[in-house]
Homo-oligomer: A and B are copies of this chain.
């Protein structure tokens, strides 16, 4: 018999870095053309793709394990906001030639760790060369009982507007990356600076409260392009407007300190993006119960305003109920 042909370099790369992650039986150890997922009868599959591109969504010098986690987490955040339980993901990875073994090793370790943590296994993938920056396109899948996905379109006049976690940290963290003097100008101590930088580097998706969102929310979405713009999208989808009491928008100590030093940062906080929190609308009668239940899961949730009649606008009001004008409500690459 002839000797078996050697595996290709691509097969060896996959075997070394990604096969250890592919323990789901439907991944066939990454040795088939496709993966299989068996959704429980009576369920829907929720599907999401979001890519991150080097020097666009992350810095090339960011630790590769954090890059991997970010790529997965930005997708997990959408599944959480829709009320879905993670079921797995596909990874499409385009690698420049200067990416070496160390990067791939750290990348695959970060990915393995979050896949385990969030119960979202690698099902399959594709690796390619690119003359451009490293590009990570991930498609994530979740399941939920049929017909129960929480949409953007269900907000009702009278509902309360609730947001998880804190807003603006990641956008301020990104600013810190670009401005060496900002931390001093904003009177941040080392811990505050670290908090903001971490929040940009590594989103904290709120999958812990996905089931509560499904139980209580009339509409929901993840906050990724800026709270102001994302609320406007939710308003447009639901055919409503909102009044947000800006003082109730939850801020970290770091963001609060920076905002006190530079009040115009309110724009960055409300429109900067990369928050990966959940914003949702909840019937007023359920609001306290929902916020309490989120807190019990370790996720703070704040009532920040109300749904009112109107067309597609979210108005941010100051303490005197005057509208705060935002030059830009949302982050957009285009």
Residue numbers of A with Cβ under 8 A of B are 1-5, 8-13, 28, 31-39, 41-53, 55-57, 78-79, 81-82, 84, 88, 90-92, 94, 123-133, 135, 137, 139, 141-142, 146, 149, 151-153, 221-222, 225, 228-229, 232-233, 235-237, 241, 310-315, 323, 329-330, 332-334
CB distance from A253 to the nearest CB of B (A): 29
Residues in B with CB closer than 8 Å to A46 are 34-36
Contact A48 B33, CB 8 Å, known A8-B330, A9-B332: yes
Does the CB pair B32–A152 fall under 8 Å? yes
Interface pairs (27), CB distance under 8 Å: A1-B313, A4-B311, A5-B228, A8-B330, A8-B334, A9-B332, A10-B332, A28-B152, A31-B153, A31-B237, A32-B153, A32-B221, A33-B48, A33-B152, A33-B221, A34-B47, A34-B48, A36-B45, A36-B47, A37-B45, A37-B47, A38-B146, A47-B90, A47-B139, A49-B139, A131-B133, A135-B135
Bound-complex Cα distance A137 to B78 (A): 19
Main SS of the interface on chain A?
mixed
Tell me the nearest residue of chain B to A228, going by C-beta: B5
Cα distance A49–B88 in the bound complex, in angstroms = 13
In the complex the two chains form, is A94's CB within 8 Å of B152's CB? Answer: no
Closest CB in chain B relative to A181 CB, distance in Å? 27
Minimum Cβ distance to chain B for residue A18 (Å): 13
> CB within 8 A of A50: which of B43, B52, B126, B133?
B126
